[in-house]
């Protein structure tokens, strides 16, 4: 196993000379430790099999959902590219910095993400280190935000960017993943990582309406924090090659998609690793309040944010 840290960035390593589908215990221990330390591991041209991708993800924890396509290619093979297309709107939404599933009762622990079909240009995925951002934050701002909580909602983030689906149910929900009808998740702006014990910012496009603050002030504070936090040397964008695989720690990093010519096909595969309720449960949710059929009622299909 050969490890090279990303140059000039506060996180991330490229790992080669390893077969992710036949890891022995020693290799796994080393890899897990590296993941905790570096938060993003990149495996160039790993070519994980569909089963191998989920099996690798399961080493990190239970799955929030198994391997799902993140793609502009429809089930009929048609490439979706029109601005008002539902698939396009979902993908565009992903271009805002975010932590996955902060809008769910339990925030995701991480994800394994692989590239099957890559367009000729664009479509890089970016990550941003919210631990380094917290560490480098102006002490006055750090004090100001230390006890603040914000709501996290996919209705909010997709609505703000003009990307809500067209087809709405009578009760205002949508039959798509993340648009649940439960209480909107409330989360701290500063969260301690359950393994490292290090604090990091928990912000991004799903965060809105800080408790006890006017809407305008809250939006400005969250936007300013996000703009400042997601800058070099705390960001890295990976330009994909077919077969590449990555795994990231969603508790520490934000991520985003970047634009590409959507007349060209792109297909990525995303396996989402569930967060542990002991550390990733929203402040206002209790374990027993999460319906066991939440994922089934809101299928992922080609959708994942």
State the residues that interact with Fe ion by CB under 5 A.
Answer: 100
Nearest distance, CB of residue 45 and Fe ion, angstroms:
23
Nearest distance, CB of residue 125 and Fe ion, angstroms:
9
Nearest distance, CB of residue 304 and Fe ion, angstroms:
7
Using DSSP's 3-state secondary structure scheme, residue 16 falls into strand
Nearest distance, CB of residue 250 and Fe ion, angstroms:
8
Distance between CA atoms of residues 97 and 99, nearest Å:
7
Q: In what order do the strands lie in the sheet with 267-273?
A: 2-5, 13-16, 40-43, 245-249, 110-117, 267-273, 63-71
Compute φ and ψ for 174, nearest 5 degrees: -125, 150
Nearest residue (CB) to Fe ion, 100 versus 116? 100
Q: How many CB atoms lie within 10 A of CB 155?
A: 18
Q: How many residues does the chain have?
A: 305
Nearest distance, CB of residue 128 and Fe ion, angstroms:
12
Nearest residue (CB) to Fe ion, 91 versus 145? 91
Which residue number places its CB atom closest to Fe ion?
Answer: 100
Nearest residue (CB) to Fe ion, 23 versus 102? 102
CA dihedral 165, 254, 276, 292 (to 10 degrees): 0
Nearest distance, CB of residue 173 and Fe ion, angstroms:
20
Nearest residue (CB) to Fe ion, 100 versus 209? 100
Q: Are 128 and 249 in contact (CB under 8 A)?
A: no
Nearest residue (CB) to Fe ion, 18 versus 301? 301
Distance between CA atoms of residues 14 and 47, nearest Å:
15
Compute φ and ψ for 127, nearest 5 degrees: -130, 150
Nearest distance, CB of residue 305 and Fe ion, angstroms:
5
The per-type count for the chain, helices as H runs and strands as E runs, is 9, 15
Distance between CA atoms of residues 214 and 191, nearest Å:
22
Q: Are 284 and 186 in contact (CB under 8 A)?
A: yes
Nearest residue (CB) to Fe ion, 96 versus 105? 96
Nearest residue (CB) to Fe ion, 100 versus 244? 100
Q: Are 5 and 38 in contact (CB under 8 A)?
A: yes
């Amino acid at each position: 196993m050969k490890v090279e840290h990303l140059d000039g960035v506060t996180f991330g390593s490229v790992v080669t000379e390893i077969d992710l589908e036949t890891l022995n215990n020693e290799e796994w221990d080393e890899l897990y430790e590296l993941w905790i330390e570096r938060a993003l591991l990149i495996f160039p041209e790993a070519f994980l099999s569909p089963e191998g991708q989920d099996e690798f993800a399961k080493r990190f924890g239970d799955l929030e959902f198994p391997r799902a396509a993140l793609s502009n290619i429809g089930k009929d093979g048609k490439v979706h590219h029109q601005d008002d297309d539902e698939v396009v709107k979902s993908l565009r939404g992903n271009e805002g910095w975010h932590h996955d599933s902060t809008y769910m009762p339990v925030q995701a622990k991480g994800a394994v993400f692989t590239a099957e079909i890559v367009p000729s240009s664009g479509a890089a995925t970016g990550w941003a280190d919210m631990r380094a951002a917290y560490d480098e934050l102006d002490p006055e701002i750090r004090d100001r935000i230390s006890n603040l909580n914000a709501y996290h909602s996919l209705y909010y983030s997709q609505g703000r960017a003009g990307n809500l689906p067209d087809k709405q149910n009578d009760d205002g929900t949508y039959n798509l993943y993340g648009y649940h009808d439960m209480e909107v998740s409330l989360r701290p702006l500063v969260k301690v990582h359950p393994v490292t014990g290090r604090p990091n910012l928990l912000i991004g496009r799903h965060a809105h309406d800080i408790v006890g603050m006017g809407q305008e002030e809250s939006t400005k504070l969250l936007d300013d924090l996000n703009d400042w936090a997601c800058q070099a040397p705390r960001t890295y964008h990976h330009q994909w090659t077919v077969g590449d695989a990555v795994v990231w720690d969603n508790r520490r990093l934000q991520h985003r998609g970047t634009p590409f010519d959507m007349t060209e096909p792109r297909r990525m595969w995303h396996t989402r690793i569930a967060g542990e309720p002991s550390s990733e449960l929203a402040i206002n949710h209790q374990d027993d309040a999460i319906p066991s059929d939440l994922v089934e009622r809101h299928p992922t299909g080609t959708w994942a944010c």
